[in-house]
Amino acid sequence: MNNKTIRSIKGTQDILPEESIKWQSLENEIRKITSHYGYEEIRTPAFEQTKLFSRGVGEETDIVSKEMYSWTDQGGENLTLKPELTASVARAYIQHNLGLVSPVNKLYYIDALFRRERPQKGRYRQFHQFGVEAFGSEHPEIDAEVIALAISIFYSVGLEELQLNINSIGSPECRKNYRIALQEFLKPHFSNLSETSQKRFNNNPLRILDTKAPHEINILNDAPIISNYWTDEDETHFKKVIEYLDILEIKYQLMPRLVRGLDYYTRTTFEITSSNLGAQDAICGGGRYDGLVEMLGGKPTPGIGFAAGIERLLLAIKNNQSKKNKVQIYIVGLGDNARGTVIKLAEELRQQNIATEFDVLRRSLKAQLREANKMDVSYAIIIGDKELESNQLELKNFSTGDQQKIELNKIVDHMNSLSF
């Protein structure tokens, strides 16, 4: 018999209570701010048909070609754990005819995703993202709103050193013409490109612009830029996005070589970085994907969104010392007769939204008061045989050290009257 301890799988992590508090705080802030902008939560299944991602994300992307967790189930269906969320949300939008429910659908999500990437700090094989998707408007004001929402969330959770990088990768017509020009430029340099870039050359040459290899960056310094291939409509749209960002007083950096790694993006594309993360500083990426819904079998529907990794965001947050959930009252129970009263009083206080704990190890008075002090409670209520006989409970204020007697039938009202 093998009694070797079973451990978590490489690239995954357990989020223990001390850390979970920080996650809850961040998620609560996300929910609060997205609701201020009129976004509603959507939840999609953990796995989808594999073809959703091969069609929606792109066969040649690293996500689809290298990183997906896929399998064939007992019924012969090809399934995949979600590696990203936009395609799933778009599938749900089409399947449930949300475009008939409202001309504009503004959705947000907080969810777990799965990619077989090389684990590193802030990057896991099961990881979590939050993001938004807005379907129905092709106009630049929704682009500005989505960016403003992302910035607002990051500022609200304590990030200060943010940079918005923005570009437009144009319409499909623009991208087609630019793709040809980029390939023509790269042809003389083909033998100097990495194996990865050589593979991208025919299938998706725009992704070569994502390279981090110094020698390729040097080559690309002289490459044509996509703005020279914008249509008049592309240029007008992007200028309006910039105008609205100026109105909102959102600072930005124009990045003519910024592209997104996924195939469904059009026009506005952006990323937000934080210097808190060092070299790999991106905390958020997003953009417009006006062709995605149609690509997945729906009616032509414009869309825009962003996604941000929660693990990386938690890494970036300065002074991310969210306080442990504050226990306000500790009930010290002494002796067998007191236990029923302790349990009942604790429940009554909790029903009044007063965080309350009591001892379940039947420890001494001294040990229980030490535990209460360790929890940094505001008050301790002491209940023993003497207190039950007199119907007078002992209330200890940990801030002042003062003690007073309160009648048992008045203790809940008294605690409710205090400010914690």
- Tell me, rounded to whole angstroms, the distance of Cα 130 from its chain centroid: 3
Per-residue model confidence (pLDDT) at position 147: 95
Which tokens belong to 371?
């535990």
Per-residue model confidence (pLDDT) at position 320: 43
Global confidence as pTM:
0.81
Per-residue model confidence (pLDDT) at position 318: 60
Spell out the domains of the chain, with CATH numbers in brackets. Answer: 17-171+231-316 (3.30.930.10), 329-417 (3.40.50.800)
Which residue type is seen at 308? A
Give whole-number Cα distances, 217 to 191, 192, 211, 242, in Å.
15, 12, 7, 27
d(CA 291, CA 176): 14
Strands, sheet with 403-407, edge to edge from the N-terminal-most edge strand: 356-358, 329-333, 379-383, 392-397, 403-407
d(CA 68, CA 83): 6
> Strand, helix or coil at 379?
strand
Residue 261: left if φ>0, alpha if ψ -120 to 50, beta else—which one? Answer: alpha
Per-residue model confidence (pLDDT) at position 196: 82
CA angle 126, 131, 136 (to 5 degrees): 135
With a CB cutoff of 8 Å and minimum separation 6, the contacts of 23 are 15, 310, 314
d(CA 208, CA 200): 7
How crowded is residue 276: how many other Cβ atoms within 10 Å of its Cβ? 19
d(CA 162, CA 272): 7
User: Which parts of the chain sit beneath pLDDT 70?
Assistant: 1-2, 56-62, 64-65, 121-122, 260-264, 276-280, 318-325, 420
Is 74 exposed, middle or buried, given 0-12, 13-18 or 19+ CB atoms closer than 10 A? exposed
What's phi and psi for 159, nearest 5 deg? -80, 135
Is 177 exposed, middle or buried, given 0-12, 13-18 or 19+ CB atoms closer than 10 A? middle
Per-residue model confidence (pLDDT) at position 9: 85
CB 286 within 8 A of CB 108: no
d(CA 335, CA 387): 11
Q: Which of 34, 122, 157, 80 is nearest to 309 (CA)?
A: 122
With a CB cutoff of 8 Å and minimum separation 6, the contacts of 214 are none
Helix (H) or strand (E) holding 155: helix 140-156
Which residue type is seen at 266? T
